[in-house]
Amino acid sequence: MNITQLPYIKEIYGFLGSDVMSGLVGLLIIAALVPLNVAALVLAERKVAGHIQLRPGPMEVGPHGILQTLIDAVKLLGKEMVTPGLTDKPLYWLSPIIVVAPAFVGFIPIPFSPLVQIKDVNVGFLLIFAFSSITIISILMGGWASNNKYSLIGAVRAVAQNVAYEIPLLLSVMPIVMMTNTFKLGEIAQAQSGLWFIFYQPIAAIIFFIATTAETNRAPFDLVEGESELVSGFHTEYTGMRFSLYFLAEYTNMVIAAALFTTFFLGGWYGPVLPGAVWFFAKTYFLLFVVMWMRWTYPRIRFDQLMNFAWKVLIPIALVNLFITAIVLKVI
């Protein structure tokens, strides 16, 4: 399944060829897809959590509770947006708005199928990584502006954690770039028409998965919002829709991370019989399931363990892996 087999689609939707138009349509689709997707993921998370703990999860709203998150969204919309007294008002107001922006930008270079991609930008995944760092700035802003010691500790932890885990994240992707000689996600996915890169680069895949889990502040790396010690971390003081914007960003970042993993290591849209986009989404949602599964399996790690793991284990192994890849590519 590639573009050459389906020339007529390009003709029918020829007006989508222009960048402005495809960008506009793409962003509209993303704006519609992201909240619905998050609603589905929150429900899935609660169901997975429930069944791992031998309970059914939400069951009351709709059959098997499938409307639960929609009702929760209505509840959050109806809530008062409390601004505590001694907050830094502009930053407090701005932080949940900024946190959503990278979540939307992250979808631009992701190739859901050869046709369904908003724009295969030259810098490719570097765009996503660069914008995902903005998330951390807004977390720091939110934690700082809340004027709450728990929020601030959570925000400081977020910064330290993300600085540490961005290095293995990039180092684990570099072997892929060396193998494909491109940053474009579409071309990286296309290079896996034969064997998926997870079989060439299993160690890089594992490191990438761990690092993205840490980057998205998911358990077992969710020290940022460790509710047993920090109430709720950086979004302790946020209520209503502002709180749900943080939630939206967290789950959307998870989707982007899983989509990147699919593109880099699981062969993107390649798969038998079914069309490409279906395979891509199947792989992405399987990875999201793994992330949820991990969350409800592992206890939260301690902060020194978190730092040791990044600096003493992930980064050296990622460097050695990169080195070996470079030698092997040079020799072959």
Residues lying near other proteins in the complex (CB under 8 A) are found at 48, 50-56, 59, 293-294, 296-298, 313, 317
To other proteins, the closest distance from the beta carbon of 308 in angstroms equals: 11
Q: Which is nearer to other proteins, 133 or 297 (CB)?
A: 297
Q: Which is nearer to other proteins, 17 or 56 (CB)?
A: 56
To other proteins, the closest distance from the beta carbon of 316 in angstroms equals: 9
Q: Which is nearer to other proteins, 41 or 73 (CB)?
A: 41
Q: What is the distance of C-alpha 175 from the center of its chain?
A: 21
To other proteins, the closest distance from the beta carbon of 293 in angstroms equals: 6
Q: Which is nearer to other proteins, 230 or 314 (CB)?
A: 314
To other proteins, the closest distance from the beta carbon of 68 in angstroms equals: 14
To other proteins, the closest distance from the beta carbon of 54 in angstroms equals: 5
Q: Which is nearer to other proteins, 209 or 234 (CB)?
A: 209
